[in-house]
Structure 1
Amino acid sequence: MSIFKAPFKAGIFTKLLLSFLVVIIPIFSISIFIIQSAEENMREELSQSVLTNVHFYMSSFESEMARIIQINKELIFNEDFLKIRTIAADMDDYTRVQTILKVKDRLNLLKTSSLYVDNVKVYIPSMERGIFSNSYDNHIPSDELNALKMSGRTGSKITYWEKGLFLSEVYPDPFQKLPLTIALGVDLSTKKIQETLRQIVDMDGAGASFINVQQNWTFSDGKNDQISPELRKFLNNPAISGRPSDQGNINMNGMNYLITYEYSKLLDTYLVVYIPADEVLGPLDTYRKFLWLLSILSTIIIVAFSYWIFRLIHRPLKRLVTSFRRVEKGDLQVEIDHNYSDEFKYLYGQFNAMVSQLHKLIGEVYEERIRSQQAELKQLQSQINPHFLYNSFFMLQGLVRMRNIETAEQLIQHLGDYFKFITRTGNETVTLDQEVHHSKAFTEIQTLRFSRQIRVEWEELPEAFQKVPVPRLILQPVIENAYVHGLEDKVSNGLLSIRFEIEDEDLLIKVEDNGENISEAGLDDLRNRIQSHVLEKESTGILNVHRRLKLRYGEQYGLSVSRGAEGGVRVEMRLSAKGVEKIV
């Protein structure tokens, strides 16, 4: 019986490793999920923060511009402004000067009312002069005057001129196609607006700009004017139109920028903020690096743990299993050692002790079986000797009385050969031709006894198997059994045949008779007794032969019985043609 019924489908090392993975993979997955969730939340919070800042500054700037625009409208219809643009030519010098000073005071009041106002100018065509809030110069350059007049025609309240911005108000409405009577312009503070734009976002490489798509101008904070064309290109995208605020991305010179914009309907202008993606996602890179570090660390831990388990448990356990399998195959010279003082050292020591004890026990059992075999053989010899001695003397006595000297001499010769073989106590094995010669001597004696009732047929033993070593007295007891239980009551026409047959590397010796004494029940009982592993008290006859053959050659060898073609019993003896002794 095998020590191990079947190989493991999954070894302990594999199961331990899988168990470790079952534990660490969910933890690792949860960590990845948490980090990714944190990254998404941070990205969303950063984006929302930028949107909020842009909206706040745009709303503040738009509110201030709306207030200034409203003041501009009120000034145009102010009484002093109305006089200066309608009846200035009819005024005396004193009244005209006083009115101009009042207008100038109004302009100066507007200038000081907002930090975003740098200067306020009003142009009066009827007087062909301008009035300024912060100077007495009444000359307005023609290009500035044209820009002031054109701003009203574009419908935009804010106009870009000479790298600066100004708000304008004209009367009457240019779309009425009436002569211009007054034009009011407010120069916005470039310095203050740039300071405001810089306050929106405080990151390296980031900036903000006011962009008017219709008039195709850009007013930036002065940090990075090279990006302005890309920003205008981004805003000219048809997908942008109709969206008051949103976010997007552009790439310039291999660098990604996060774009956040908001549109002012009042000013017909976009406030655009651009931030390098690396700056926005900089904190996220820390989380991403932490994720990679966690992945690498987890992999190192798995590999280290696997190697530790392999060295500490799997390798010693595999050595133990391999040693058991060697023992299973009959190798009892196995001895294993362990250098560490742990449980495996104890197991290895007990294994070595077990193998040593097993080797000792097997040796003792085998020796006991050999001694038992020899004892059974001696018992068989002692039981056979008196039996043949009696019959031989009775038969010899009869031949002498009948004065059949020739037959008596043959009987004496056969008896001499027979008892010489039986009583030899030297080597317990003989060659097959010696065993056959002894058996022929036995059948010759029986033929002299039953010459008229039984005929014996011997097939020639193949020459290749004549010198094969076999146990003594394995064939003669089988032949004797055929005489005693099959042919003894035959009055005539008895037949006993002994034939030899080669099958693969085995030799079959078939002993068959045509006796009618044994029934089917008796044959089944004999077959069951031969196949049974239970030792019986009887140690003679074919059971003795069968047990000795199995002991010598192995479980697949021995005797088998069946009904022969002649109606009697056929006994087949299977021997190893190699004659090599096999230990069970």
Structure 2
Amino acid sequence: MKLQSAGKASRWYVYQKIVIVFILFLLPLISMNIWLNYKGMSITKDAILNSSLAGASFYSKQLDKEMYFIRNLQLQLLNDKDLQKLSFRGSMLENYEEVELIDQVRDRLATLTVSSEYVVNAGVYVEAIGKTISTDSGVTNTPNEELKLISSLMAVTPKPSFYRSGSRIFFIETENNGAVWSYIEISRPKLLEALREIANLYPQSEVLLGDKEAGTVLTTAQEQGESAAVLGLFDDESLHNSNSPEMRKMHGVNYFITPNDVSSLHLSLIMYVNQNEITRPLSQFITWFYTLFIIAIIVMILYSFSVNLMIHRPLSKLVKAFHMIETDNLNIMIESKTKDEFHYVFNSFNNMARKLKNSIEDNYEQKIALQRSQLKQLQSQINPHFLYNSFFNIYMMCKVGDSDSAAELSQRLGSYYQYITRSGADEVPFDKEYRHALDYCDIQCIRFSNRVHFEYEEQTDVPATITVPRLIIQPIVENVFEHAFEDGMMEGKVYIRTEYREGKLCVTVEDNGNLATDAMIEQLNTKLARDSKSIENTGLINVNNRLKLKYGPESGLTASRSMHGGLKINLTIIPET
């Protein structure tokens, strides 16, 4: 009989659960992607703004330092001894001495001019000799045009930090109650060039130098009204105290504005950048984000359809077939049109149904009884108490966050039970049996790491061809952990070593426990020497009997006092030649 795909039912199918779980796992990733995208854009935007702030701050500080440097040179010039001598003794100097002093002053002015690229002219007016001395016009008798210009600027009250005449900028200082004037003209093109260097940090950014009182002194913008609008966005306090970029709207456009104080001029250097210029490089990430989001939706749809086609439909056939077997209908065959894993499952199911039918007809009860017996034998090899304790230890390690110890204990426990439950030959290579005993020690020492430890020697001299019965060393070690440290000893030690000499294999297990008395050791030796025909499932007697039956009376176990104070068990095997 051939089966068709199972019809729809009013319940959750496996494939629906898989799809829902897939979506539930995918949604946090998508949500995290959204968050990371916007967080990354925010961080990137802040990084760009901080970079602009750093750049603008650097250039503004350089400009400020340069202006302070020029002012200091100007103040030093006023205190020059030659200039002071001209001022105090001008009318009393002979012509030769006056010319010599004037030349000295001219040299100082020339030095001041070449000391900074921002200085285009430096001069002094000395009232006592009625002359102006400058690097631009030389030595000129007063009145002259240069003195008239400086006089008109000095009439401004209150005294500003710098003076402007049209597009020209001056630093003017006086000495000796106005008997000496010092004036320095600052190069407007050089200042504008410095502003353009700052503006070049970002495309379509502009920089201005000014404040609300003085207005715009210099700007890289083509339209003066734009600079005035930027200054209008700030009050005087926020203009001089702001230390971070601010976003302000001007003419319907958002600008990131970075003000920096130029204290030497009592002005602010302001860089403003269109927000779109900063965020434009980030817009491609938004496009990629939405593209990836759409791809994720398409992937979920395709995944759902694929799971339904490749898993749900074949499983529906298999589930329906099992339902029919439950009704004792064994005349069933599942047809498979694909060559995938389900093809193997369907063929295996068909074979199983056929063999099951034959088994029921031939020897159903006999085989079932045999299977139960084998299962019982397999389960009898497992010590539930040991397993429960190990699981409890793993649980406690996980609770305290000791993931490394929990992982190691899980690995050792898996290796331990894989060894004792697997089917196969009764004899195994000695190195595997020895490793199994060490795994058991590792498990116990991890469980009782605060008070029990073990030491062992790597068995390197035992031939790889030597095989031994399974589970002959582990019961000896188990006996130590169960009986040697029952009193709660805090520094328990187990010592294991092997020796192979002249065809004789010896394994020694010792402990430093203090519970084994001489009478107990003698009693144990008596039991080991006795020719016992009984069969015990566990313990030293069972191991001793197995060894003697297989290898002869010279092999087996012996007990003695350990040099460490506890019990010492020697396991001796003389392999058959």
TM-score after normalising by structure 1: 0.49
Select the structure of larger CA radius of gyration: 1
Higher relative contact order (CA 8 A, sep 6+): 2
TM-score after normalising by structure 2: 0.49
